[in-house]
Each structure stands twice: as structure tokens, then as C-alpha cells.
Structure 1
Amino acid sequence: MPLYDLHTHSTASDGAYSPSELVRQAAAAGVNVLALTDHDSTAGLDEAETAALEAGIQLIPGVEISVTWADKTIHIVGLRIDRHCNVLKQGLSRLQATRLERAQEIGRRLYRHGVPGTFEAAREMAGEGMITRTHFARHLVELGLAGSMKDVFERFLTRGKPGYVSTRWAEMADAIAWIREAGGGAVLAHPQRYKLTASWMRRLIGEFKECGGEALEVVSGTASPSETQSSAEYARRFELCASSGSDFHSPETAWVKLGRLPPLPSDLTPVWTHWNH
């Protein structure tokens, strides 16, 4: 049976591996079908597709779109997208501009907090990819201002901390429309990570489905067994397909590995069931 990993990141956003290296690492881990789903960017897909042909695995073109819903940041993965679709390209372009503005403001706020040069360092670290909070976090760890990436976010980059910048992302209906216009299917990423009450979770998933959402990411690299079980229950309740993805970013996160995922519950319909390979 093919091994699927439908949620990963490369240096085109905040991943540690280049698109081609990510593909090679996934193939070495036994992954047969890999989706590259960088944050608000499809820039790594050409390189990843070339590497996938060389490695003998299937590359699913994807993206992870940032959405603001009920004042929370929600992530929606688009799978099997046409990255050349103008509607999708225009939407992502607006989000990329928002990301740059946020990065510049994070740099200004950290400067006022007594830490100069963070925007410039993050920009250099990002290279041709987008500047993300992960790049700021890595730089602050290098400066010795925190012991780990998690520590950086808790001390500098979350709400109420010196480098936090409130950001308005895409509307859910718009993000799903971009994905569908590009011929893809929309997946609600890692639903348990949003720390919503049961009633708010039902509202989120209900609106996601009403807008044309197709699947829940039931199995995720960061989910506990109980969280996976809860996501599976929501997939059943709302009659949504199920997806599986590690959300791999970096080997530094030892507990999130490419392809190291438990199987989907057997009674759920995998999102790939109707794909024509």
C-alpha cells in the first residue's frame, strides 16, 4: 500500500530542506506520495517535481493557505492544485505581501525591544523564500536569547510578546475558492492545534464544509492518539474525507518525521480515494 505524506514544507517557506532535498528525504523514508504544501507559496513545486521524477515518487502539488477565522489563524491545505491558476496566484501574491509587511514590523518591534538587525538576518536566512517567524526564531536562538525555537515563540513572538504582530490573513471562503478554482481540494489542517472548544470546533468545521472544504487532516505529525481520534469523529460527523500529513518542517523537531504516521481509521474515506494516479 502506498505511503502518503500530504503536508510538508521546504525552504520556499519555513522548512529546513530545499524542495529537492525534501523529496529525497521523503523517498528515503519510504514515502510514495508526497505533497509539498509551503505556506502561501507554490515557488518550490517545479524543483520538487523534478526531484520526484528522479526519486521515483509521486509529487502532489499543494499549498498551505493562511486564513483568519474568528480572530484565529487557521491553515487550509490545498492538494492537487494547478499552480498556474491566475486566481490562486493573485490570492497568494496578496498573502506574500502581507507576510513581508509582517516581517518588517516584527523587525521594527524587536529593534525597539533592544534586538537590532533581526529583519535583515531573517531575510538572509530565508534566501529566495518567504520570510517567516521561524526565521526570526532561528536567529534569536543563534543570538543566545532563547534556548529553543519553542522558547523564542513563547518569549518573543506570541500574542502579548515584544515581536508579536497581529495579522489579517485570507477569508476562509476566499481561500477555499482559490483552491477549487485551481482544480484542487481543500483540507482543514491539524484541527486540534487550534485549541477550540467543541462548540467552536463544530462551527469551524461546519463553515469549512459549507465553503466547499473536502477533508480534515485526521492524522498529523503533531497530533496525539486522542487528538487523532477526536479529528476522526469530526470527519465522520461532518461526512468529510480524511487526510494524513506529517507537517514536516525540520529534522530539529525529532518527533515529527517524514512519513512516520499511523494509518487512517479504516472506516474513513481517504482524500486520495478518487484520485486518478
Structure 2
Amino acid sequence: MPSKADLHIHTVCSDGRLTPQQAVEQAKEKKLACIAITDHDTCKGFYEARAKAEELEIELIPGVEITSALGDKEAHLLAYCFNADTDYLESFLSRQKLARRKRIKGIIETVNKAGVDVDYDEVWAEANGANIGRPHLARVLTQKGYVGSPKEAFIRYLSDKQLGTIKNYYPDYQEVIETVKNAGGACVVAHPGRMYSSEEMTKFIDAGIDGIECIHPSHNYQMQKKYTQLCEYHNLLMTGGSDTHDGINAGYSHFGVITVALKHVESIKRMTKQRKNITEIKN
């Protein structure tokens, strides 16, 4: 029986290349037992994948990667096993969509000052209805010949270092954590890697974060060990996944390779079941 899960997958509903249905098919092919589609600030991929997951007997848990503000920087928080059949989280995410549009306009303005000619409509067209983000701008810069690849676009123009301070319209990380919990879900720090100082990780923990994504392609063994020990010390959930953005015909992909054991999914489900029961009692 398959015993692995990939809890970090992106689809065409945000900045990935797979359709939600293809993500489920890939999971079946790679013998995964469970996946979470975690598109940026939208649950659309989860809803679109449910029928295919049921057909192929792949467990699909609700997931989304929510963008928040931690001081002047972006902080990405993963939400799992929230109540997906109410509009509580969806109404929150609709505001996130507007925040993403405002933010990308600021990024485009900054890039244009660096001598690049690109406008919002081009990037919006590239997103094709998905939640817009920097990867879509990177693809436009590649198509227009300013760079040789999206990766080069991030190095030359789109990294946090190159962009400097861009006005952030996202909610504070504390608000996101509270919102996810109120929806009966678990909130997890995504790919902390070298992104956060020890003091910043302490802020997440003090705010009531439920877990940390310990297993991620950007984490070497020392980082995995560091964050696993942090989870054990603070009794936090440990999650992980491929963070795949690849399409169906990609060469090497972390999808199906960077995984976590099913016991971690069961831990998320136990915690969120208890949380939903408490929330129902309060209401």
C-alpha cells in the first residue's frame, strides 16, 4: 500500500503547470497515497481535483498557500484540512486576490524602472485567470527576450533583494493564523529554509502556528534536522512536499520524490478534527 504524501503542490490555478486533475493523475502514477494542492491564495485547485481524486482513490486533503506580511517581508503559510464547504476562508481569500493584483502592479513598476518594458495586461494574460504572481511576470520577461529563463528573471529582476521594498497589501501573519484556525484548519510555516531568523520563527510560534514544513526541496539535511527538532521541542506538526510547479512533460521533478510519511497527515487530521469540534461548540 502507498504510504507517502506530497503536501505542497501548485497547479494552473496559481503559478503551476499541471491542471488539478493532472496533479491527481501524477500522484497515482508516482504511487502516492495522499496529496494537498496548495495553490497561492486560492482553493480552486482543490475543488477541481476532488472528483478525479475520488475516481483514482487518492486522498486529497484541503490545502492552500496563503501570503502574509511579516514586517516588510512576505511570509507564506500553508493551511490544511480547513472546512472547505463553507465560505469563511473563501471570503478571506477573495481579498487576497485583490492584494496580489496590487502587489504585482508595484513589482511591474519597479521592474520597468530597471529598463524593462512590460505592463500589467501582459502579465494578467499570462496568468490566464489564475491567481497572479511573480512567476507569471518571469514567464513574460522570458518570452520578451529580457532573460533566457524564468529562473534568470528572478535572479536579475524579481528576487526580494533586486526588488527592494515593495508595498505589501497582505494581512499580517497573525491574522492569517487566526483565520485558518477559525476555519478549523492547521496553519504551517512554508519552506522556512534561510528565509527567517530564529527571532522570526519564534514570532510564528508565539502567534500559535501549528507546524513547520520541514521537508522541502530547498532544505538540506541540516535544515531538515533543525526544523524537525524545533517541531519536536514545541510539539508542532511536521509537514513536507515537493512544492512542484512543473508541467506534465517536465524532466526531473521533485513531485513524488520529496514526500512525507502518512503519519504526519494523520496528525494534521487529528488536530483539525478536534479544532472543528471546538469551533462548533463555540458557535
Same fold, judged at TM 0.5 (above): yes
Deviation at 1:126, TM superposition (A): 1.2
Q: Is the 8 A contact 1:9 1:36 kept in 2?
A: yes
Deviation at 1:66, TM superposition (A): 0.9
CA deviation string 1:168-215 (max 9, x = no partner): 422122101111111111111112141x3xxx32x3333323333211
The whole-number CA distance in structure 2 between the counterparts of 1:163 and 1:106 is 10
The whole-number CA distance in structure 2 between the counterparts of 1:270 and 1:220 is 14
Aligned pairs for 1:234-245 within 5 A: 234-245=230-241
Deviation at 1:241, TM superposition (A): 1.9
Question: Number of paired residues?
Answer: 269
The whole-number CA distance in structure 2 between the counterparts of 1:23 and 1:70 is 36
Aligned residue for 1:272, secondary structure, equals: helix
Q: Is the 8 A contact 2:237 2:268 kept in 1?
A: no
Aligned pairs for 1:146-185 within 5 A: 146-159=147-160, 161=162, 165-185=166-186
The whole-number CA distance in structure 1 between the counterparts of 2:269 and 2:125 is 39
The whole-number CA distance in structure 1 between the counterparts of 2:132 and 2:57 is 31
The whole-number CA distance in structure 2 between the counterparts of 1:253 and 1:215 is 30
Aligned residue for 1:273, secondary structure, equals: helix
CA deviation string 1:114-162 (max 9, x = no partner): 4334422221121121111001101111222112222111211124646
Aligned twin of 2:60:
59
The whole-number CA distance in structure 1 between the counterparts of 2:207 and 2:250 is 33
Aligned twin of 1:207:
203
Report whether the alignment pairs 1:92 with 2:93.
yes
Deviation at 1:45, TM superposition (A): 1.8
Aligned twin of 2:266:
272
Deviation at 1:255, TM superposition (A): 6.0
Percent sequence identity is: 28
Task: Give the structure-1-normalised TM-score.
Answer: 0.86
Aligned residue for 2:132, secondary structure, equals: coil
Aligned residue for 2:11, secondary structure, equals: coil
Aligned twin of 2:126:
125
The whole-number CA distance in structure 2 between the counterparts of 1:73 and 1:163 is 12
Q: Is the 8 A contact 1:7 1:247 kept in 2?
A: yes
Deviation at 1:68, TM superposition (A): 1.3
The whole-number CA distance in structure 2 between the counterparts of 1:20 and 1:218 is 27
* Larger CA deviation: 209-218 vs 110-119: 110-119
Q: Which amino acid aligns with 2:267?
A: T
Aligned residue for 1:76, secondary structure, equals: strand
Aligned twin of 1:68:
69
Q: Which amino acid aligns with 2:256?
A: G
Higher relative contact order (CA 8 A, sep 6+): 2
* Larger CA deviation: 162-171 vs 145-154: 162-171
Deviation at 1:271, TM superposition (A): 4.8
Aligned twin of 2:281:
none
Aligned twin of 1:47:
48
Answer 1 or 2: which has greater helix percent.
2
Q: Is the 8 A contact 2:41 2:93 kept in 1?
A: yes
Q: State the superposition RMSD in angstroms.
A: 2.6
* Larger CA deviation: 206-215 vs 240-249: 206-215
Aligned residue for 2:264, secondary structure, equals: coil
Deviation at 1:93, TM superposition (A): 1.8
Task: Give the structure-2-normalised TM-score.
Answer: 0.84
- Are residues 99 and 253 of structure 1, via their aligned partners in 2, closer, same or farther at CA, if it must alter by over 3 Å? farther
Deviation at 1:92, TM superposition (A): 1.5
Deviation at 1:25, TM superposition (A): 1.5
- Are residues 70 and 182 of structure 1, via their aligned partners in 2, closer, same or farther at CA, if it must alter by over 3 Å? same
Aligned residue for 2:90, secondary structure, equals: helix
Indicate which of 258, 261, 277 corresponds to 1:261: 258
Q: Which amino acid aligns with 1:103?
A: I
The whole-number CA distance in structure 2 between the counterparts of 1:159 and 1:105 is 13
Segments of 5+ residues of structure 1 without an aligned counterpart are none
Aligned twin of 1:2:
3
Aligned residue for 1:169, secondary structure, equals: coil
- Are residues 187 and 31 of structure 1, via their aligned partners in 2, closer, same or farther at CA, if it must alter by over 3 Å? same
